[in-house]
Structures are given as C-alpha cells and as structure tokens.
Amino acid sequence: MDNRPVSGNSLVLSYLGLRKAIGIIGTSLPFVLAFGKMLIESPGIESSISEYYYTDMRDVFVGSLCAIAVFLMSYRGYDRKDDIAGDLACVFAIGVALFPTTPAVNTSSQAALTGTIHIICAFSFFLTLAYFSLVLFRKTDPDKTPSQRKMQRNRVYTVCGYTILASIAMIAILALIPSENPVMKLDPFFWLESLAVVAFGISWLTKGQAILKDET
C-alpha cells in the first residue's frame, strides 16, 4: 500500500513529493553539516551531529530539523496510527532542534537539563523513524498480492529500520565508555548518528518512490 487512496493524481504526487522532501533532507543533512563547517569555519568533524548546533552551521541544523518536523506534521498515512506517529516524530524533531545538546565546556545545570531533554527527544525521534520503516511503510493490502516492486521496497524499509535501531543501540553502549577511551577519537557518535539519519532518508526516498518506483 504505497499509494494512499486519494481523489486525483495531484494529491498522490503531493504525498510522494512530501516523502521525497523528507528523504532528501535526511540523507543530505550529515554531509551538509560536516562539509559546510569545514568550508566556512574550520577543518575536522564534530563529535556528534548535535554538536553542530555550536558551530556556524547552527541555522542549517535547526532549520533542517524544523523543516523535517513541518513535513512530518503535514504527513497523513493510511490510518490514525500513521498520523499519530507523524505528529510524535514532529514533536521530537522540534525538541532536538530547540533543546541543544549539552555543550562540551561551560556546562551549567540548566544546560545539562536541556541536554537531557535533547537526548530523550533524539532517541524518541529515531525510534519513531524506525517504527515508520519497520511497521508503517511495510504495510500491504491483505486483499492484494504485493507487487515485485513493493516487495523490494519492503526489503529496503527493513534494512533501514534495523540500521536505525542498531545505530542507536551502539550509541547507547558507547555512552557508557569513558571519554578517554581511544575509540572516542574516531568520533563514533557522529558516524553512528549519520548512519541512522541517512537510513531514515533512504527509507523516505523509497517511500516517495524516488527509489524503486512502481513499474508502469
């Protein structure tokens, strides 16, 4: 069920366009932040995507998340569960954008509280995105035999969903490792967050049929 029943091709295209827009922002965000900061500020990558809030790429970071939030709020699925998931993901995305991660220096009690809210919103956001990929996007009409394209898209959704879950699980494990550990010099949080965000973007691009479009 990759096309919601609507009255008119224009509305179908608008839903596909909405999904593609979410996917494009998701897949491009880590690269735009990393290369943008290198070009206009200084070499090197930040320890996490959220740390770009404290760089010259702050507006891009916040703006991209707010754009994703608006698109998710506008998204309407097949039933009430889809709509609730979209609304929750919207709230969590705004939370990630407006409650920055705890800064590496000059940390106050208020900044620590804000950082805690940021972490809760970020994990909730990723869990909701995994739910989209593993549950909502893989829905099929029980009265119809899924097309070959639909089965292929479902495999993409499955890989993306489990990639998101595996990434946030690894982030949670690494959070328990002391910052002095040599592995932290490789900026694992940035790479794992980037992997989860790109997987989210690919899933939505596939849902928008920018990838594995229905055969005509």
pLDDT tens string 89-106: 999 999 999 999 998 777
pLDDT of residue 216: 62
pLDDT of residue 143: 67
- Enumerate residues 6+ apart whose C-beta is below 8 A from 180: none
pLDDT of residue 142: 67
pLDDT of residue 89: 94
pLDDT of residue 14: 72
The type of residue at 135 is V
pLDDT of residue 45: 93
- Enumerate residues 6+ apart whose C-beta is below 8 A from 151: none
pLDDT of residue 10: 52
Angle of helix 58-74 relative to helix 9-40, nearest 10 degrees, comes to 170
- Contact status, residue 60 vs residue 10, Cβ threshold 8 Å: no
- Contact status, residue 58 vs residue 34, Cβ threshold 8 Å: no
Cα–Cα distance measured from residue 33 to residue 56, given in angstroms and rounded to the nearest whole number:
9
- Contact status, residue 199 vs residue 164, Cβ threshold 8 Å: yes
pLDDT of residue 80: 80
pLDDT of residue 77: 65
- Enumerate residues 6+ apart whose C-beta is below 8 A from 80: none
- Contact status, residue 99 vs residue 112, Cβ threshold 8 Å: no
pLDDT of residue 108: 83
Cα–Cα distance measured from residue 215 to residue 8, given in angstroms and rounded to the nearest whole number:
19
List the one residue out of 37, 32, 72, 8 whose CA is nearest residue 194. Answer: 32
Residues of the chain with pLDDT under 50: 1-9, 11-13
Q: Cα-atom radius of gyration of the chain, to the nearest Å? A: 18
Q: Which two tokens stand for residue 179?
A: 């910052």
pLDDT digits 0-9 by tens, 145-190:
678 888 999 999 999 999 999 999 999 999 998 888 898 889 999 9
Domains and CATH numbers, the chain: 9-207 (1.20.1070)
pLDDT of residue 55: 95
Place of tokens 């040599």: 182
Report the percentage of the chain scoring pLDDT > 90: 59
Measured between its terminal Cα atoms, the distance across the chain in Å is: 16
